[in-house]
């Protein structure tokens, strides 16, 4: 098997797995309990919070543990909207469904919602954000890195425009954290990360909430996580996320460069076996691990079904069971015949050049 679908999910790091095991056996208490077992669990939980905060350049008290990126995005959008009661919200057309669906729900509830367009390479124009801001705008949400194309949005510039206008800015950074250096110094007010995109287990994520930002809870229960995420904290999962965050800090820039070199090696190989192949996006403004390409006149699903043993995605994995064209490629104006032939290859820490050679052999056979 050749696994080139790291944007869908990542394998769990041994360091994260060991942190999970240790916490599950040595810190099994309820962190809300006052006895020794509870205090030990609380220590492990707060250490994990510090590790995640360090990765983002944030303060530990600004990190809220949640079940993953979907919950974090829902909490960011719904939490801001419910705390304000009314207002105008801006999101881009290429957001993950966990941003688009809450935005549509808020539209149904009487909020005003606009959807920002992207250009042919999949990028939001910051000046378009400025033009669409209104006196009643309460939130702008633009993802840092797109899950399908890897396009890196001009988040720092958008954040500055929002700050000048007194508007809160949220970025879904689930696809970026752990792949490139990401810091809240970008100027964001809220930031989403997902554990399983950065070599931690599924079922854990976090929302950065800048100090002083008021959110309404969207779940109701006890007072855990500043009252924003009720329920006994999953200490082993938090510990695993903390370990993955700490590991990422060790070599992130160097690992990003390694993956970028491998990505370009794959692109060159694809051009050799299929000269008509089309690349989506700007390689200089794309995640170092992500290559989205289209094979004109071909069906991506058929190519991958013939390339047995090659794991990649026809667009976003979240939509693989549906035949509808990718909303991201549609927003970019990609013709249907190219969208149908689009495959996303996403590399990771365990990808080698030998993996890519094998992938190219499988694709060559499939295309022939």
Cβ of 284: how many Cβ atoms within 10 Å?
Answer: 7
Whether 102 and 178 share a structural domain? yes
- pLDDT of 324 reads 73
Whether 187 and 317 share a structural domain? no
CA distance 77 to 141: 8
Whether 122 and 270 share a structural domain? no
Q: What is the CATH number of the domain that holds 270?
A: 3.90.1150.10
Last residue of a domain, one of 197, 222, 247: 247
Whether 320 and 360 share a structural domain? yes
Whether 101 and 214 share a structural domain? yes
* Closest CA relative to residue 289, chosen from 181, 195, 178, 179: 179
- pLDDT of 325 reads 82
Whether 331 and 214 share a structural domain? no
Whether 214 and 266 share a structural domain? no
Last residue of a domain, one of 223, 247, 271: 247
- pLDDT of 322 reads 52
DSSP line for 73-120: HHHHHHHHHHHHSS-EEEEETT--HHHHHHHHHHHHTT-EEEEE---T
- pLDDT of 135 reads 97
CA distance 189 to 209: 6
> How would you write the pLDDT of the chain (368 residues) with one tens digit per residue?
999 999 999 999 999 999 999 999 999 999 999 999 999 999 999 999 999 999 999 999 999 999 999 999 999 999 999 999 999 999 999 999 999 999 999 999 999 999 999 999 999 999 999 999 999 999 999 999 999 999 999 999 999 999 999 999 999 999 999 999 999 999 999 999 999 999 999 999 999 999 999 999 999 999 999 999 999 999 999 999 999 999 999 999 999 999 999 999 999 999 999 999 999 999 999 999 999 999 999 999 999 999 999 999 996 455 455 567 899 999 999 999 999 999 999 999 999 999 999 999 999 999 99
Q: What is the CATH number of the domain that holds 190?
A: 3.40.640.10
Whether 325 and 241 share a structural domain? no
Print the domain residue range for 133. 14-247
Q: Is 345 left (phi over 0), alpha (psi -120 to 50) or beta?
A: beta
Whether 109 and 161 share a structural domain? yes
* Closest CA relative to residue 157, chosen from 137, 128, 136, 180: 128
Active site residues: 318
- pLDDT of 316 reads 47
Whether 316 and 213 share a structural domain? no
- pLDDT of 58 reads 98
Cβ of 114: how many Cβ atoms within 10 Å?
Answer: 17
Whether 27 and 146 share a structural domain? yes
Whether 242 and 296 share a structural domain? no
Q: How many domains does the chain have?
A: 2
CA distance 141 to 293: 26
CA distance 193 to 51: 13
Strand ranges inside the chain, DSSP E: 2-3, 63-66, 88-92, 112-116, 137-141, 168-172, 190-194, 205-209, 278-279, 290-294, 310-311, 342-346
């Amino acid at each position: 098997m050749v696994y080139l679908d790291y944007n869908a999910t990542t394998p769990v790091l041994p360091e994260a797995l060991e942190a999970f095991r240790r916490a599950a056996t040595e810190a099994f208490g309820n962190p809300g309990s006052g006895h020794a077992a509870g205090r030990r669990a609380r220590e492990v939980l707060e250490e994990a919070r510090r590790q995640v905060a360090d990765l983002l350049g944030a303060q530990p008290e600004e990190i809220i543990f949640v079940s993953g990126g979907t919950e974090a995005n829902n909490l960011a959008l719904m939490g801001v909207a419910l705390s304000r009661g009314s207002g105008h919200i801006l999101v881009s057309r290429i957001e993950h469904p966990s941003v688009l669906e809450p935005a549509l729900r808020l539209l149904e509830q009487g909020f005003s919602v606009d959807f920002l367009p992207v250009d042919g390479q999949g990028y939001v124009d910051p000046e378009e954000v400025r033009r669409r801001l209104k006196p009643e705008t309460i939130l702008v949400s633009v993802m840092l890195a797109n899950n399908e194309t890897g396009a890196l949005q001009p988040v720092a510039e958008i954040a500055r425009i929002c700050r000048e206008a007194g508007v809160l800015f949220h970025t879904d950074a689930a696809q970026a954290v752990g792949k490139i250096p990401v810091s809240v110094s970008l100027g964001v007010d809220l930031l989403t990360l997902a554990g399983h995109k950065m070599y931690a287990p599924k079922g854990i994520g976090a929302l950065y909430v800048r100090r002083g930002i008021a959110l309404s809870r969207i779940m109701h229960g006890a007072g855990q996580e500043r009252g924003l995420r009720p329920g006994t904290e999953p200490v082993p999962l938090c510990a695993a996320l903390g370990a993955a965050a700490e590991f990422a800090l060790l070599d992130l820039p160097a690992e990003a460069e390694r993956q970028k070199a491998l990505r370009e090696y794959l692109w060159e190989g694809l051009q050799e076996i299929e000269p008509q192949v089309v690349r989506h996006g700007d390689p200089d403004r794309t995640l170092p691990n992500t290559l989205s390409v289209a094979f004109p006149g071909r069906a991506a699903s058929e190519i991958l079904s013939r390339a047995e043993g090659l794991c990649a995605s026809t667009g976003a994995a979240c939509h693989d069971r549906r035949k509808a064209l990718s909303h991201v490629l549609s927003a970019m104006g990609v013709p249907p015949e190219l969208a149908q032939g689009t495959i996303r290859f996403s590399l990771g820490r365990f990808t080698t050049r030998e993996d890519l050679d094998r992938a190219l052999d499988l694709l060559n056979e499939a295309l022939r």
